[in-house]
Amino acid sequence: AILYTGGTDGSSIFLFFVAVPVVFFFFNLVYGLYFCAVFFVLMVIYTLSPLRYLGYQFPEVYYSRLPMMYLASVIMCAVAQYEVVKAKIKQEDALESARQASEAKTDFLANTSHEIRTPINAVLGMNEMILRETDKMEKIPDSDPEAFRSSVKKIRSYAGNVDSDS
């Protein structure tokens, strides 16, 4: 901590570097670059003004390399923030694609279910009519062959309807 902050009497020029990732973390890429530009101007003012003599005196080489190191830090953080934004966009696209696929599946199943239920209901309805006609046929007396033939014709017609609908 003493090396980083410049000791007990010091002001830390390295706090400029801490500010860069913090700014990009709390703001988006555009506003992060704006704030980093403001920090860069403040840092240049600090390094070129007598303010730097108030606190701990870093070697002169620190002050000469500080702007380039700061810009390198800004570039690294901006690239990282750009990658985060790009990954977020990819994730949103994948979620939208998954939602569309789910809707397509739901529509397909609804249509398929309807297409299957319609002929099945027709078959079940004809089967019900066949069962009713056979119940009637069982009650026909043996002395009425014409009613028996009529009932058989109806059953054959219903069975033909089932055969043609399926």
pTM: 0.49
* pLDDT for 56: 64
- Residue 52 to residues 44, 64, 70: CA-CA distances in angstroms? 11, 13, 17
pLDDT at 71: 81
82 vs 4, more confident: 82
Measured torsion, CA atoms of residues 160, 161, 163, 166, in degrees rounded to the nearest 10: 180
Calpha distance 19→16 (Å, rounded): 5
CA–CA dist 36, 55 (Å, integer): 23
Q: What is the pLDDT of residues 87-136, one digit of tens each?
A: 999 999 999 999 999 999 999 998 888 888 878 888 888 888 888 888 88
6 Cβ contact partners less than 8 Å away, ≥ 6 residues apart: 12, 13, 55, 56, 58
